[in-house]
Structure 1
Amino acid sequence: MFKELAYYDGKIGTPDEVMIPFNDRSHFFGDGVYDATIGGNHVVYLLEDHLDRFYTSANYFDIKIPMGKRELGELLTDLLRQVEGETHFVYWQVTRGVASRNHAYGNDMPGKLWVWIKPSKAGDPNEELKLIVRPDTRFQHGNAKTLNLLPAVMGTELAVRAGADECVLHRDGLVTECCHSNIQILKDGMLIAHPDDQFILRGIAKTHMIEACRRLGITVMERPFSLEEMYDADEVIVTASSRMCQHACEIEGRKVGGKDPETLHRIEKEVIQEYLDYTGKATLLD
């Protein structure tokens, strides 16, 4: 069993053992896409959804994944079983391949698959989040999960330096998403979420939370919302595969949310139960 596992193009070891070729195009161009989720009870959570998004991202940039969805799903499941612990961070990416540096890549380059798995924990729904806000200066491919993450890196670092948990991004005052999460608001019993367009990543956790709201009879409106609406919302909800459904208590030092805890807790309970049913775990935080 590994305490932490790395995989590259068929080679398995620890992160210190697995070496990446110098000419892998990720080093020069960030030329690849990735996906990630949480693993519980050695089950990759919402595996099929994440694989669909992974292959969509790769197709978007004409990157060839070296195996089919079923084979990749079996590989991820097998690798997860080899890592100690009960809750894990499961990450995988594909780069365009290995070749001497050249912006043009041709049509016959085989992609290189990477996997990284380490023990982790699920986000505690009772933990309130503090957020900051910055302009969304990313290029207009937010719907593809590419390796080009420098704006997200800088936004996250600014949040850490400010003592916050996440950075909210906006375009001309309209909220898009966070640096590594989606963000939604509750207002008057309605969930408002940015639509899945080119400006945001189609979050798997976001999608399943919207489905949970519909099961609960909670109205969902998918439209952009403004910074002012976010500050005035009854609740501000941050979602990611590891967070699932957490809420903010503060944005840029201003208190937010706390006005509709009943609806918030109903959504949290439904989302967490889906995770427990999928993975076979008894509790979220273990």
Structure 2
Amino acid sequence: MQTLGYYDGKYDEIDKMVVPFDDRSHYYGDGVYDATCAGNHVIFNLDEHVDRFFNSAALLKIEIPHTKQEVKDILNEMVKKVDGDELFVYWQVTRAVAPRNHVFPEGQKGRLWVMIRPSKIGDPSKTLKLMTVEDTRFLHCNIKTLNLIPNVMASELGKQHGCNEIVFHRGDIVTECAHSNVHMIKDGVFITHPTDHYILPGISRVHLIKMCKVAGIPVDERPFTVAEMMDADEVIVSSSSNFCLSAHEIDEKPVGGKAPEILATLRKLLMDEYLTAIGRK
């Protein structure tokens, strides 16, 4: 199959899937999601993504209609049926199907959605042009909620300015990007915002920290300012499909390019981990 969708027990090509009008995602964005890549029909870091998915749902008091193992089984079964060596694997749960009412409907479990389609992982050699935008999102960014309008609006603004990604900041403090985590290297130290309620606890962020420790690179989990970022030796953007990309420009000013050896080390370690996980090394 070219693509494959799933909704509440039903499977079909994505463009043939039908979702009930009263699914609460339509009215409120009332749900959470997670996503990762698959290579060689093996889903990368699946356990960690499913753990985060269940944590997000619990924080919004959404009852997922399956156990963690059942969700993994559904995803693993689906990736085997889709053509392509590299796939994008996305899943979400919405609270219920019920007439529009702000309060939670009683006695209903969530509705699971899945989308699988071909998609290449990011080219690690690509450098990014970034743009800073004031972070006006709500104060639960640690929950991977469907409510992404501020991210969408910021991403469109970035596109209009020829930028690849947006860097959010609250006042002077950098938080994260519109759909990635952002980090920096300064004087040989990997610096990343702590996992508080201002950022999503990125899976690739965890693996970057892990590889820093493997390589003997010191890690400092602390807030950093826009000014510090602009003066960093390297600015790194990470996500589940782009493990370790560097920025060459932010707000039309050159940045980074001063610690290529550290970047190369981290990229090799991360790619080796990925290739080993999918059985290609």
Pairwise same-fold verdict (TM > 0.5): yes
In the comparison of the two structures, how many residue pairs are matched?
A: 281
Listed one character per residue, the Cα deviations across residues 230-278 of structure 1 (whole Å, up to 9, x for unaligned) are: 0000000000010011100111111100001011111111111111111
* TM value normalised by structure 2: 0.99
**Structure 1 CA distance, aligned partners of 2:280 and 2:231?**
36
1:252 aligns with 2:254: no
1:106 Cα deviation (Å)?
Answer: 4.0
- The residue type equivalent to 2:250 in the other structure is I
1:73 aligns with 2:83: no
**Structure 2 CA distance, aligned partners of 1:248 and 1:99?**
45
RMSD (Å) for aligned C-alpha atoms:
0.8
Q: Which runs of 5+ in 1 are unaligned?
A: none
1:173 Cα deviation (Å)?
Answer: 1.1
- The residue type equivalent to 2:175 in the other structure is T
1:11 aligns with 2:10: yes
**Structure 1 CA distance, aligned partners of 2:164 and 2:3?**
25
1:107 Cα deviation (Å)?
Answer: 4.2
Give SS of 1:265's match.
Answer: helix
Structure 1 runs (4+) deviating above 6 angstroms are none
**Structure 1 CA distance, aligned partners of 2:3 and 2:158?**
27
* TM value normalised by structure 1: 0.97
- The residue type equivalent to 2:142 in the other structure is N
- The residue type equivalent to 1:15 in the other structure is I
Listed one character per residue, the Cα deviations across residues 12-39 of structure 1 (whole Å, up to 9, x for unaligned) are: 1112211000000000000000000011
**Structure-1 residue corresponding to 2:134:** 135
**Structure 1 CA distance, aligned partners of 2:225 and 2:258?**
19
Give SS of 1:200's match.
Answer: coil
1:151 aligns with 2:153: no
**Structure-1 residue corresponding to 2:85:** 86
Listed one character per residue, the Cα deviations across residues 197-252 of structure 1 (whole Å, up to 9, x for unaligned) are: 00000000001110110111100000010000000000000000100111001111
Listed one character per residue, the Cα deviations across residues 127-147 of structure 1 (whole Å, up to 9, x for unaligned) are: 111101100000001000000
1:281 Cα deviation (Å)?
Answer: 2.6
**Structure 2 CA distance, aligned partners of 1:237 and 1:120?**
22
